Amino acid sequence: MSNTSLEKSKIRILLLEGVHQSAVDTLNAAGYTNIEYLTHSLAEEDLIEKIADAHFVGIRSRTQLTEKVFESARKLVAVGCFCIGTNQVDLKAATRRGIAVFNAPFSNTRSVAELVLAQAILLLRGIPEKNAKAHRGEWIKSAKDSYEIRGKKLGIIGYGNIGTQFSVLAEALGMEVYFYDVVSKLPIGNATQVGTMQELLNMADVVSLHVPETPATKYMFKAEQFAQMKPGSILMNASRGTVVDIDALAEALGSGKLLGAAVDVFPVEPKSNNEEFVSPLREFDNCILTPHIGGSTMEAQENIGREVAEKLAMYSDNGTSVSSVNFPEVALPSHPNQHRLLHIHENVPGVMSEINQVFSENGINVCGQYLQTKEDIGYVVVDVDKAYGELALEKLLQVKGTIRCRVLF
C-alpha cells in the first residue's frame, strides 16, 4: 500500500461525533479543506462505506473502529481520538496496518476533576434526592444524612492525570486523600497510596474511579467490591461504563448500603441524543446520572479540537508521530528541498539492513534518517535529494516486511 505526496485538497478527512469547530479551523489553517463533518457517530455498515475513502478520521468515544472497519479503510493514514480514551479503537488492528492513532491525553482532565468534586459535595449533602423531591412538590428540610466534605476520606482508584487533579482539588477542601493504583505513584500533596483496593474501600467515605478500560478493569467493581465499601459511602464513576457492574450498583443503592452514587459512563450508551437512555439506575433519586459529559466543557472541547487536529496535520505534513498511542514516536524537523520517505515495517531482524541496501545499491544519498520502533512495528523516516524520492519509494515498497510507505514532497 502506498501513496505519493497528495495535494492537500485531495486528502479526505472524515470528522464524526460533532468534534469542536476548532478542529476544522486548525485543519483549514494547515491547508486541509476536504473535510466531511458529521455531528453524530455512524453505525458500523455506514462507517465502513464512508471510511473507505478517508485518509484521516476524527472520532470521540462512540465510534467503534473495529478490525472489520479498518479492513475497509484502505487509504487511512491516521486516526484522531478527540478525547482521552482510545478503548473504542482496535489499536492492534490499526498498528498492524501502519495506521497511527492520536488522542488528547490532558485537555479535559480538569473538567472531569471539577465535575466529580462537585458531585461529591452534592451527594454528601443529599442534594440530588432533595432536589428531585422538591421538583415533585416535596419539602425535605432536614440535616439527616447530610455531611460536609471537610475531613472525609476520599479513595481514588486510578491515580493518573484525572485522579491526581481530583486529589489536589479535594485536599484543598479538607479531604483526606488515599489512592489505589496498579503502578507505584508519587503522591501529590498529602495523598497516600494504599496497597490493595479492599483496603481503600474499607476506609473511604467517597470512592471515585479513574481507570482506563482494559481487560483488567472490566467489571473490576462488582458485588464483592460494594460489600467491601463502608455503609453510607458514595461511589462515583466517570471512567468507563464497563468498569462497574450496574446491577450490583443498583442493588447497593436499593439496599441502602450506599448514601449515593454518580455515574457518567455506562456499559451501553445511547448512540445519539435522540435515543432513549435505559438504565436500572433511573429509579434512584440519590444517583446522579449524566450523559457521558465529564469532559464536555467548552474549554476542554475547544482545546481537544485544536490539539488533535494539530497532531493529525503534523503527521500528514511531515511525519511527526509524537504522542501517538500506538506508534513509534518520532519528532521530525522540516525537510526543505528534499523528499521524505516514511516507511512503516514489521519490527523484525533484517528489515533495516535491506532498507539501507536500497539506498547504497541505487546510489541514493541519505540526507537524514530517523528510526524508532515500538513492539511489533518500526518507523523509519529517510530524507533524500528530491531527484530520488520516487525511485526510493518504488524500491522501499519491495522491502520484505513493509507495511506501508509514503513520500512527502
Ligand X SMILES: O=C(O)CC[C@@H](O)C(=O)O
Ligand Y SMILES: NC(=O)c1ccc[n+]([C@@H]2O[C@H](COP(=O)([O-])OP(=O)(O)OC[C@H]3O[C@@H](n4cnc5c(N)ncnc54)[C@H](O)[C@@H]3O)[C@@H](O)[C@H]2O)c1
83 binds ligand X per the rule CB under 6 A:
yes
108 binds ligand X per the rule CB under 6 A:
yes
| Cell matching residue 379 | 518507523
Q: Which of 18, 85, 267, 270 binds ligand X (CB under 6 A)?
A: 85
230 binds ligand X per the rule CB under 6 A:
no
Strand partners, 402: 345
Question: What are the helix and strand counts (H, E) for the chain?
Answer: 13, 17
Judged by CB under 6 A, which stretch of 77-85, 166-174, 342-350, 351-359 contacts ligand X? 77-85
Alpha-carbon distance 205 to 145, whole Å? 13
Residues with a catalytic annotation lie at 240, 269, 292
Cβ distance 94 to 101 under 8 Å?
Answer: yes
AA letter at 69: V
| DSSP conformation class of 233 | E
Q: Which one of ligand Y, ligand X, none interacts with residue 60, CB within 5 to 8 A by kind?
A: ligand X
Give residue 31's region: left, alpha or beta (phi > 0; psi -120 to 50): left
| Cell matching residue 187 | 503522591
The per-residue DSSP string of 184-228 comes to --PPPTT-EE-S-HHHHHHH-SEEEE-PPP-TTTTT-BSHHHHHH
162 binds ligand Y per the rule CB under 6 A:
yes
Q: Which of 22, 26, 41, 61 binds ligand X (CB under 6 A)?
A: 61
Site string for ligand X, 241-280 (x = CB under 6 A): ----------------------------------------
Total number of residues binding ligand X (CB under 6 A)? 7
Judged by CB under 6 A, which stretch of 141-149, 236-244, 303-311, 352-360 contacts ligand Y? 236-244
Judged by CB under 6 A, which stretch of 66-74, 78-86, 140-148, 389-397 contacts ligand X? 78-86
Alpha-carbon distance 11 to 340, whole Å? 18
63 binds ligand X per the rule CB under 6 A:
no
- CB atoms < 10 A from the CB of 139, how many? 8
Distance of CA 68 to the CA centre of its chain: 20
- Contact residues for ligand Y, defined by CB under 6 A: 84-85, 108-109, 112, 157-163, 180-183, 210-214, 216-217, 238-240, 264-265, 292, 294-295
- Contact residues for ligand X, defined by CB under 6 A: 60-61, 83-85, 108, 295
